[in-house]
Amino acid sequence: MIAAFALIGCNRASGDQVTRLNGPDYRPKAAVTSSVDVSSGQKISHTAAIGQLRQIASYNLGSASSGSGQPQDAAFGPDESIFFVEPAAPEVFQITADGEVRSVLPQQISPDFAVRTPTAILRLSDSQWAVVDRTSKLKVFSFDGEQLVPVRTASVIDATDACLLGDSVVLRGAEKPVQRYRLEDGQELQQYGEAFEHSFWLVRRRLAEGLVGCRDTDSLIATTSMALPFVYGYTPDGTLQWVTEVKGLTPTAVSLVKTETGQLRVRNAGANFDLPWRFTPLDDARMLFQFLRIQREPAAPTQVHSIVLSTRTGHGEYVGTELPWIVGGAWPRLIAFDQESGAISIHLLEK
């Protein structure tokens, strides 16, 4: 997952001449309409918020993955299998129904279809999947039973996250916050997120990187940046419906350090931080927002915190750390990752 950054005052580094760099105001341009507090300790059970989550399958990844061993995004494949990607590996992996983990990209592949730093995999239909990575091409594949087969590409922005909205794809990228493209030819249909425009290139890029969530129907789009504790809800036509502040969410803090030679360096100023992780549609009216609490203490586990958001109003309910780490799927079947065991599991959401 890409590191999150926010601009704050600079810390003094050994041997550096430090200059405090004051940037523009990064608070949202739109009014905050609701809030949810994740620091008060008040929470409700996930059963009350979304229903019962029941595990129906689990697969150990073992050492088959050549990357970090931590899936970034997953989607259901054919015959009850799972496709997943991880940024450290230029690959697409499949977990078969009997638990075999294998690479499914062809060994010889056109440069247009080569996967570089993949961030998302989307199930377009029963026979096609799209891979989103940090390039300007969306790659669409079919599957012949053994490996993925290149179908077509579409020119898009580089993306840190993606979701399907009808016959279009919504992407969150580093250069432009949120855009919607037609899947057939990559034509741009809509732009969202004017609230994320900034003047400093360094800060602008980091604030633009973030998450986006929507269902594969004509529904609301939720988005957040990696560096600010606000969630924005847009209608497909670009209207901003609501802004929800997540109180107690602490994104990564950094400092800009100016050295004696005039160069700018980024220095991490925080011991612990929260990393926005994923929006997962639950049904037509609710969306699950998860963030990871990264603790710098040795061997400290990463905590997965969950908030259930109303897609109509932005009102949120904090459910704490009860839910698993979701990496894919949509209501009623979710794909989760267990950091401790290194397993991917399938969960059924029951009311």
DSSP string, 301-346: PPEEEEEEEETTT--EEEEET-S-EEEEEETTEEEEEETTTTEEEE
Q: Determine contact, residues 319/306, Cβ cutoff 8 Å.
A: yes
Give dist(CA 132, CA 128) in Å, integer.
13
H or E stretch covering 76: strand 73-76
Give dist(CA 266, CA 205) in Å, integer.
13
Helices and strands (H, E) in the chain, number of each type: 2, 28
Say what the pLDDT of residue 337 is.
Answer: 93
Please spell the DSSP secondary structure of 217-253, one letter per residue.
Answer: SS--EEEEESSSSEEEEE-TTS-EEEEEEEET-----
| Residue 207: other Cβ atoms inside 10 A | 25
H or E stretch covering 208: helix 201-208
Say what the pLDDT of residue 27 is.
Answer: 57
Query: Helix (H, G, I), strand (E, B), or coil: what is residue 203?
Result: helix
Q: Domains plus CATH for the chain?
A: 7-350 (2.120.10.30)
Cα separation values, 265 from 5, 23, 250, Å: 13, 15, 22
Residue closest to 174 by CA, chosen among 123, 139, 213, 212: 212
Q: Determine contact, residues 131/162, Cβ cutoff 8 Å.
A: no
* Rg (alpha carbons) of the chain, rounded to whole number: 20
Give dist(CA 284, CA 61) in Å, integer.
32
What is the pTM assigned to this prediction?
0.84
Say what the pLDDT of residue 217 is.
Answer: 80
Give dist(CA 180, CA 238) in Å, integer.
10
Place of tokens 């894919």: 328
Burial 279-308 (b: 16+ CB within 10 A, else e): bbbbeeebbbbbbbbbeeeeeeeeebbbbb
Say what the pLDDT of residue 20 is.
Answer: 35
Give dist(CA 292, CA 301) in Å, integer.
10
List the chain pLDDT tens, one digit each, 351 residues: 333 333 323 333 334 343 333 334 445 667 889 999 999 888 999 888 888 999 999 998 865 444 446 789 999 999 989 999 998 889 999 999 999 999 999 989 999 999 998 999 999 999 999 999 988 899 999 999 899 999 999 988 878 899 999 889 999 876 667 889 998 888 999 988 754 554 444 455 566 678 899 988 878 999 988 777 899 999 998 888 999 999 998 766 444 555 566 555 555 544 567 888 999 999 889 999 999 887 767 667 788 999 999 999 999 999 999 999 999 998 899 999 998 888 999 999 987
| Residue 134: other Cβ atoms inside 10 A | 17
Say what the pLDDT of residue 202 is.
Answer: 47
Query: Helix (H, G, I), strand (E, B), or coil: what is residue 103?
Result: strand
DSSP state for residue 215 in the 8-state scheme:
-
Give dist(CA 52, CA 252) in Å, integer.
32
H or E stretch covering 204: helix 201-208
DSSP state for residue 31 in the 8-state scheme:
P
